Structure 1
Amino acid sequence: MSLSTRYTPSETEKKWYDHWMEKDYFHSEPDEREPFSIVIPPPNVTGVLHMGHMLNNTIQDILIRRARLMGYNACWVPGTDHASIATEAKVVKMLREQGIKKSELSREDFLKYAFEWKDKYGGIILDQLQKLGASCDWKRTRFTMEPKLSDAVIRVFVDLYKKGKIYRGLRMTNWDPSAKTVLSNEEVIHSEENSKLYYLRYKIEGSEDEYVTIATVRPETILGDTAIAVNPKDERFMHLHGKKVLVPLIGRPIPIIADRYVDMEFGTGCLKITPAHDMNDYEIGQRHNLEVIDTLNEDGTLNEAAQLYVGEDRFKARKMITRDLDEAGHLVKIEDYKNKVGRSERTNAIVEPRLTMQWFLTMEAFAATALEAVKSDEVTFYPKSMWNMYNSWLKEENVKDWCISRQLWWGQQIPAWYIDDKTFVAESAEEALEMAQKETGNKNLTINDLHQDEDVVDTWFSSWLWPLTVFDGFEEKNDLAYYYPTNTLVTGWDIMFFWVARMIMAGYEWSEELLGKEITDKKGKQPFHDVYFTGMVRDSKRRKMSKSLGNSPDALSLIENYGADGVRFGMLSSAAAGNDIIFDAPIDPKTGIVLNESKLCEQGRNFCNKMWNALRLINSWEVVDEPADATTAEINKLAGDWLEQKMNRIIGQLDQQMKEYRLSDSIMDLYKFIWFDFCSWYLEMVKPEYQAPIDRATLERSIALFEKMMILLHPFMPFVTEEIWHQLRDRVEGDDCIVSKWPEAGMFDDHFIDEIELAKDIVSGVRDVRNNNGIKQKELLKVHGQASKELSELLDSDGMKSMVMKMAVLESLDMTEETIDNSVSFLVKTHKFFVELNQEINKEEEFERLTKELEYFQGFVQTVEKKLSNESFVGRAPENVVALERKKLADGMSKIKNIQAALADLES
């Protein structure tokens, strides 16, 4: 069957993915092989595939596919996160559109709607990952709120409570008025925003016209003020110590207090104290025993305690109170002001500090354990530079107790039951009742007498157990004992503390309890050995790609346009570990909308077509069983030996790069080897003359080399490699690229490889002369090399001279001691060659052409040298980018040397 002229991803990707699924290649069960396991960072059930997912999961797929090829029992566990805040918001919105209010539903009814929503939409992103080629063990798909995983969360909560590590208390917390729940510090994103600074006058109680002036960015909070503070060393206000002022508009008298926290240089030196609505004010209030007046409802509207603007949204109230303060003579002035504003990571709502009763997990001991795990290299970070951020976050002085309760219904309900002033934490209501009956001495108590805590645990409190719970570690230990610790975690650095550190904490807390000391002493307690941190995917303006900014192309449209392999190549080619990826999707200048286009992905698609054309070329050759003539056989053997040895060297490089997670280097090395060495050189070396056949031995060796390359490339570009694998020869059942054997790095001779590279440079030099002088490609030329021992030895080796003559289309290639008249010269390293021309050389035109070429390359070299002299570029750019610039410099310098030599010949 003839092959199409171009590789068509749409015709192959579904075919091969279905085939892999049908053959059950992705599924893993414990056996005698060594395991290689990865757990997916579970995407939210609300999510759809975006560029960050594409990068992260492509990397995981590369690791798992290579492990499979290397003979490991490869297991990649997929799953989704229930995402409490985001999902509840989606469900509430859906209900609102149906005319249903959450407040009108029971908890059970709401959860029924939520699970229906999850069942309908929650698996979309996993289906999309299949289009990317993700070879997850779909039979092991998990969900953080499925029964077994929820049971583990409850068990862990109770265990920590019994250990005295979980407590309940009244604390100042971050409140999201949109989601109507508390947030941990890590879920609040602080950024500088344009604000207003309002200067307000408070009248001194009992005076006629004496005032103190304060500055605030939130004038609506004055209704909760309970003091004005000044620095005890500030001489301007010493006469006011012990006096009182009246809160504007409502006239409530509050004291003037002295506290060292007050910055004498900020604003007026007087600070309004609102303990219910500011973290620092609350601490000052505790020191001075101040009243706490909470003026906000959970949705950010003002409550009865505010006395004014009751029921109004906080920002509307801000405008109203500013107007009223101005009319009452209390507004002194308003200034433009930049300050740090905290917003909810999930809803983008401005967060309010609020005093609430919450559940907390003490973190000091956990943090120390997680810090030591990485410090001792039991968990290794790639790149190593991520240690600095991790170390900073987990230092004792920076660690705060983790607020683990959320005011939501979607999630695992906190296993605490109350009766009167007593709290009972248990794994079930029945167990809590038994505890209550025993403590109260009242055997007549029933479950209906107990009231369970309404809150749920933080989503991260379930996902920190992920490496333990996906293998049902809290139920039975067989799978956990086999697959744990996992090998590699691939994730973004932005959830290093949210998730990575906490998983490490959980692993060290429970793995020994679940598996036994004998197993953990042998295998370790850590949840994973390595953590590979990806960078952020950014647009050409270096902005993080996001749906809200509209600067992210549609992932599925990119796959449709370029094929999954093309997109995978595009993502990986610029994805050095830890470095942000500048993805080149252009923005329409007219609409400002990002286009589903990419030069990087186009390069990947072109790579597929290059290999496809190589396949078509090989398949087009007529094959004969008779051996080739002596000269052809020498050339073919030389070409095959060179490519095989160079591939052996590449395999060794790949093995080392993969250990260091230098995947971008790996894909580019493979790209250059396959595109240039195999397609552009090797196939030209062994290609038979027009309409001539090829001997079977050379064809079989070419196919074998092509097959080996497809295995090496398969983890990176699985679909095109599987298709070419099956097109190269007839296959028996089960002979698929995905389950073939990763090649071992065989022997290679650097000197021999360098000799071939030198011969290739000679061919390239002749081809340049042809192009520069308008000589037809098929015209036979005479070439003379300036005699030297090294050059003679090179051309005397078996097949070398014949190969150069074939590739350069030469009539002759010999040595000379003299300069050849009417010739054009070129240099290859230190070797000089002369190409005889059949036409007279116009020396003036040639001199002018070479001079222009010299000026161009001198300017080019100067630009590259300037870039490489920039320490910031060399220090921050990915290694492969810096290496490419250095190669450009070396090539440019070599070109200058050749041109200068040619100019010297013209002048002689």
Structure 2
Amino acid sequence: MLDKTYSPQDVEARLYKAWEEGGCFRQGVKSGRPYTIALPPPNVTGSLHMGHALNHTLQDILIRWQRMRGRDALWQPGTDHAGIATQMVVERQLAEKQQNRHDMGREKFVERVWQWKAESGGMITGQQRRLGESCDWSRERFTMDDGLSHAVRKVFVELYREGLIYKDQRLVNWDPKLLTAISDLEVEQHEVKSHLWYFRYPVEGMADTFITVATTRPETMLGDTGIAVHPEDERYQALVGKYAILPIVGRRIRIVADEYSDPEKGSGAVKITPAHDFNDFEVGKRHSLEMINIFDRHAHLNENVPEKYRGMERFAARKAIVAEMEELGLVEKIEPNRHMVPHGDRSQVVIEPWLTEQWYVNAAVLAKPAIEAVEKGDIQFVPKNWEKTYFDWMRNIQPWCISRQLWWGHQIPAWYGPDGRVFVAYDEAEAQAEAAKHYGKAVDLTRDEDVLDTWFSSALWPFSTLGWPEQTPVLGSHYPTDVLVTGFDIIFFWVARMIMMGLHFTKTAPFHTVYIHALVRDEKGQKMSKSKGNVMDPLDIIDKYGADALRFTLSIFAAQGRDVKMSEQRVEGYRNFATKLWNAARFAEMNGCVLPDDFDPKAPEGIINKWILGRLAQAVRDVDAALEAYRFNDAAGALYHFTWGTFCDWYLELIKPALTGEDAALKAETQATCAYVLRQLIHLLHPFMPFVTEELWDKLYGRPDGFLMLRSWPGDGVRSEDKAAAAEIDWLIRLIEGVRGARSALNVPAGAKIAMQGIGDDAELIRRLLRHSDPIKRLARIETITMEQAAPTGEQAQGCARIVIDGTTFVLPLAEVIDIAKEKERLGKERDKALAEIAKIDAKLGDASFVSRAPEAVVEEQKERRGSYSAQAEKLADALQQLG
């Protein structure tokens, strides 16, 4: 017998352990066609957050669904070594002991990081298990495993030998605290209060003539090598081609015409510092301007500036430069200015665009086949609108900086000879052999100290995790993978690079579908952040409500292109859904609903049984179609409505007379049908709510055929819809709902039993009312049902409510139960109030100023409020109409 209540805290850990020990997650557990998802590897330093919970839940739904469909499903797990993040964790630990990595040396520091990884790293994989993720943990990989490291070296060496990896001097995002280049994804834009300084630069050979430039970064002026004005800006046309004299420094800098300059912004003239601004770098290349780096790696001014400024910290230099320019009388004005400034997401210091020599990948060459793969439809984005984002990035792609000035990561396989000549090789022995051949003798080599960008190894993830470059059996069977589930923020950083690398090294796209999920926000639609105090920890939610409730909440709100609004109340609601399922199973068990071995879903003849079997078949089709199209919310919604509404609220209520009646044949048929539908329903819900469904399977059926998660997905043998049964039971439900709705809207006391009159003499209607009088009376709280030739008129009609079902009017005499006049007055007032609120909201939404200034979440909230008031007004209008 099932326990009275379901307690996820007593079930989840036990079931997960049984699944894992039973080998349920392993590739090969089913023998059908391969199906593969490569889990986006979370950082080894990470912990499960709500974005992970959404991403991983959607993947697990797909994997469990396909596994139950008989596919040889592989969900490939693993973690990323997360270069900067991991190095920072260990460096902080060292700092607590007054130690640093430089004192330890590279080799011992890297050993210490590996030690930390063994002891504490990978905490997130334990948290993934809490969510119920059915990854093949026997195949867990780490981006610095020997096999993956071998793949990284092979890719680097081959790309270098093809001329697609090279060294170059370009601008990078330089973190002067961490002393490394970082990717755009590791840069945060912070709005700061600052100033816009207008400096006057003298024009060479033109006495008392100045050109005014506006800048937010006075400290970079010492590296200016040009001034840009717009070609069509008449104010400066006479100056194009001339030179200005850079104050303080005295350098001649050319005035060039370039469309980058905005005539409407600042003075319309822009100082160009190619070595310290990404836009200026491009302008400098177009006009062959000199590139002068004025900062060292700590963002202190270097030897390329006047002596008095050398060694000065950049923001101290800003103050000193402004002061000197004021002394020279060259500050035209200073305006307050709010603007966005890039900061390192981990160091939280201002990022410096810095000209330095780094290793690069010629991404433009690799991008061409990757663009074609999406253009031809070999890879499809869902939702499709993300293809535009992908194309925009890929068609304007820049060289990819792949070197990082760290110690933790894949050290670049490059060695330098005595004269600086580089030898790229698979290992030091091969580099030594190449060097000896080049120099004609053995020489000492020095290895490049840099490591590779973490995204470089991650770009190989779909095939390196399967054993590439070795041609392993699993690589042959499970590559390419099927779908990638990820967030929009890494379409370029990860998705595009996986496509580029996959096509280049395997000649095959790494997946056929990229499903882009939205963000998880708070209940008001605001982005979750620690500073706002609105972060929801998925582990806290699981502790309180269970993993199933969290998973179902995330899936039912995961509509394509729409952010998920999370609240604890919603999770609590879907915890109640799990309880509803449990209670339905207890009801079936207590009423002897056992499935005979020879049950045929095509055999039942009872009208309610035929109806529920048809509805079950439709639910199977709806769920399959929704999951095929990655409409997770529709799949979850179909299951929710079928489970709670169709099965629990209606079928279980409608079959009570059959379960307690004297018709033994109908009772046996109904018990078997109920057991069959419940059993199939548990199957259908399993990918979404694996724990409660597996526990029900275990308790009700004792796992005679093994775990539920390895059972076959419902499909064959499900009865198609009986149209006559569907029409009749749907009519019955709409009639009961209509009466219930009228009672609720008109404030009829819950305990009051009322009369109902059907108007007309339709023979089929009379037969239906006779057949279903028991559920109508019981579920709509009707005392008597009669048929009348005509509806009440005159004064008698004023005391009645009317509902219309399929063209037939049903009259509910209420004069002795409620005060009709007062009820009409109340309904009218409430409707007027709702209409007034709608008018207020419409005025706001019609105000272009409000819509443009208000945060998106506030506008969305107003639209939701309007929808709520509109539905309320419509409901009140219907109630008034029912009263005539």
Q: Which secondary structure does the structure 2 equivalent of 1:195 belong to?
A: strand
Q: Please state how far the C-alpha of 1:813 moved relative to its aligned partner.
A: 3.6
Of the structure 1 ranges 229-238 and 820-829, higher mean CA displacement relative to structure 2 is found in 229-238
Cα separation, partners in 2 of 1:854 and 1:34, compared to 1, 3 Å:
farther
Does residue 816 of structure 2 align to residue 841 of structure 1? yes
Per-residue CA distance 1:605-637 (angstroms, 9 max, x = gap): 111122222233333337899xxxxxxxx9993
Q: Distance in 2 between matches of 1:302 and 1:30?
A: 62
Q: Please state how far the C-alpha of 1:748 moved relative to its aligned partner.
A: 0.8
Q: Which residue of 2 is the match for residue 593 of structure 1?
A: none
Q: Is the CA contact (8 Å cut-off) linking 1:30 and 1:482 kept in structure 2?
A: no
Q: Which residue of 2 is the match for residue 599 of structure 1?
A: 569
The 5 Å alignment of 1:716-755 reads: 716-727=688-699, 729-744=700-715, 746-755=719-728
Q: Which residue of 2 is the match for residue 407 of structure 1?
A: 405
Does residue 697 of structure 2 align to residue 702 of structure 1? no
Q: Distance in 2 between matches of 1:606 and 1:408?
A: 50
Q: Which residue of 2 is the match for residue 828 of structure 1?
A: 804
Aligned match of 1:450 in 418, 422, 445? 445
Cα separation, partners in 2 of 1:208 and 1:400, compared to 1, 3 Å:
closer
The 5 Å alignment of 1:318-717 reads: 318-326=318-326, 329-395=329-395, 398-419=396-417, 420-442=419-441, 444-445=442-443, 449-512=444-507, 525-547=508-530, 549-584=532-567, 598-621=568-591, 637-687=606-656, 695-717=667-689
Cα separation, partners in 2 of 1:98 and 1:852, compared to 1, 3 Å:
same
Q: Distance in 2 between matches of 1:207 and 1:824?
A: 96
Q: Please state how far the C-alpha of 1:37 moved relative to its aligned partner.
A: 1.1
Cα separation, partners in 2 of 1:787 and 1:408, compared to 1, 3 Å:
same
Q: Distance in 1 between matches of 2:675 and 2:870?
A: 36
Does residue 276 of structure 2 align to residue 277 of structure 1? yes
Does residue 781 of structure 2 align to residue 786 of structure 1? no
Q: Please state how far the C-alpha of 1:254 moved relative to its aligned partner.
A: 0.7
Partner letter of residue 610 of structure 1?
K
Q: Distance in 1 between matches of 2:330 and 2:210?
A: 10
Q: Is the CA contact (8 Å cut-off) linking 2:604 and 2:610 kept in structure 1?
A: no
Q: Is the CA contact (8 Å cut-off) linking 2:487 and 2:518 kept in structure 1?
A: yes
Q: Is the CA contact (8 Å cut-off) linking 1:230 and 1:257 kept in structure 2?
A: no
Cα separation, partners in 2 of 1:149 and 1:547, compared to 1, 3 Å:
farther
Q: Which secondary structure does the structure 2 equivalent of 1:490 belong to?
A: strand
Of the structure 1 ranges 253-262 and 550-559, higher mean CA displacement relative to structure 2 is found in 253-262
Q: Please state how far the C-alpha of 1:459 moved relative to its aligned partner.
A: 0.9
Compute the TM-score of the two structures, normalised by the length of structure 2: 0.87
Cα separation, partners in 2 of 1:378 and 1:552, compared to 1, 3 Å:
same
Per-residue CA distance 1:116-148 (angstroms, 9 max, x = gap): 222233211111111111111111111111111
Cα separation, partners in 2 of 1:353 and 1:10, compared to 1, 3 Å:
same
Cα separation, partners in 2 of 1:364 and 1:782, compared to 1, 3 Å:
same
Per-residue CA distance 1:371-411 (angstroms, 9 max, x = gap): 2212222112111121221122222xx11121111121211
Q: Distance in 2 between matches of 1:672 and 1:200?
A: 67
Q: Which residue of 1 is the match for residue 295 of structure 2?
A: 296
Does residue 93 of structure 2 align to residue 94 of structure 1? yes
Q: Which secondary structure does the structure 2 equivalent of 1:257 belong to?
A: strand
Task: Please provide the CA RMSD for this pair.
Answer: 3.9
Q: Which secondary structure does the structure 2 equivalent of 1:33 belong to?
A: coil
Partner letter of residue 832 of structure 1?
T
Aligned match of 1:257 in 228, 244, 254? 254
Of the structure 1 ranges 760-769 and 499-508, higher mean CA displacement relative to structure 2 is found in 760-769
Cα separation, partners in 2 of 1:53 and 1:296, compared to 1, 3 Å:
same
Q: Distance in 2 between matches of 1:655 and 1:239?
A: 69
Per-residue CA distance 1:565-590 (angstroms, 9 max, x = gap): 11112222222123222223xxxxxx
Cα separation, partners in 2 of 1:723 and 1:794, compared to 1, 3 Å:
farther
Aligned length: 850
Per-residue CA distance 1:12-39 (angstroms, 9 max, x = gap): 1112112211211111138742111111
Cα separation, partners in 2 of 1:622 and 1:78, compared to 1, 3 Å:
closer
Q: Is the CA contact (8 Å cut-off) linking 2:228 and 2:255 kept in structure 1?
A: yes
Q: Is the CA contact (8 Å cut-off) linking 1:43 and 1:80 kept in structure 2?
A: yes
Partner letter of residue 355 of structure 1?
L
Q: Please state how far the C-alpha of 1:114 moved relative to its aligned partner.
A: 1.6
Of the structure 1 ranges 187-196 and 29-38, higher mean CA displacement relative to structure 2 is found in 187-196
Does residue 33 of structure 2 align to residue 58 of structure 1? no
Q: Distance in 1 between matches of 2:171 and 2:750?
A: 82
Of the structure 1 ranges 670-679 and 145-154, higher mean CA displacement relative to structure 2 is found in 670-679
Partner letter of residue 43 of structure 1?
P
Q: Distance in 2 between matches of 1:558 and 1:860?
A: 36
Partner letter of residue 841 of structure 1?
E
Per-residue CA distance 1:141-199 (angstroms, 9 max, x = gap): 11111111011011011111122211211222222223322234555455765431123
Cα separation, partners in 2 of 1:842 and 1:535, compared to 1, 3 Å:
closer
Q: Distance in 1 between matches of 2:760 and 2:241?
A: 100
The 5 Å alignment of 1:75-86 reads: 75-86=74-85
Q: Is the CA contact (8 Å cut-off) linking 1:538 and 1:580 kept in structure 2?
A: yes
Aligned match of 2:730 in 757, 761, 767? 757
Q: Which secondary structure does the structure 2 equivalent of 1:198 belong to?
A: strand
Q: Please state how far the C-alpha of 1:866 moved relative to its aligned partner.
A: 11
Of the structure 1 ranges 370-379 and 225-234, higher mean CA displacement relative to structure 2 is found in 225-234
Q: Is the CA contact (8 Å cut-off) linking 1:174 and 1:352 kept in structure 2?
A: yes
Per-residue CA distance 1:272-293 (angstroms, 9 max, x = gap): 4434323444455567766544
Partner letter of residue 707 of structure 2?
D
Partner letter of residue 599 of structure 1?
Q
Q: Please state how far the C-alpha of 1:882 moved relative to its aligned partner.
A: 12
Q: Please state how far the C-alpha of 1:767 moved relative to its aligned partner.
A: 4.3
Per-residue CA distance 1:211-238 (angstroms, 9 max, x = gap): 6543321112233345566779866695
Cα separation, partners in 2 of 1:790 and 1:726, compared to 1, 3 Å:
farther
Q: Distance in 2 between matches of 1:45 and 1:774?
A: 60
Q: Distance in 2 between matches of 1:526 and 1:686?
A: 53
Q: Distance in 2 between matches of 1:42 and 1:535?
A: 18
Q: Distance in 2 between matches of 1:689 and 1:29?
A: 45
Compute the TM-score of the two structures, normalised by the length of structure 1: 0.85
Q: Which secondary structure does the structure 1 equivalent of 2:757 belong to?
A: strand
Q: Is the CA contact (8 Å cut-off) linking 1:635 and 1:686 kept in structure 2?
A: no
Q: Is the CA contact (8 Å cut-off) linking 2:613 and 2:720 kept in structure 1?
A: no
Runs of 5+ unmatched residues, structure 1: 513-524, 585-597, 626-633, 904-908
Q: Please state how far the C-alpha of 1:488 moved relative to its aligned partner.
A: 1.2
Q: Please state how far the C-alpha of 1:826 moved relative to its aligned partner.
A: 2.8
Q: Which secondary structure does the structure 2 equivalent of 1:528 belong to?
A: coil
Per-residue CA distance 1:345-383 (angstroms, 9 max, x = gap): 554433222111111111223222112212222112111
Q: Which secondary structure does the structure 1 equivalent of 2:377 belong to?
A: coil
Q: Please state how far the C-alpha of 1:429 moved relative to its aligned partner.
A: 0.9
Q: Is the CA contact (8 Å cut-off) linking 1:193 and 1:338 kept in structure 2?
A: yes
Partner letter of residue 505 of structure 2?
W
Of the structure 1 ranges 178-187 and 708-717, higher mean CA displacement relative to structure 2 is found in 178-187
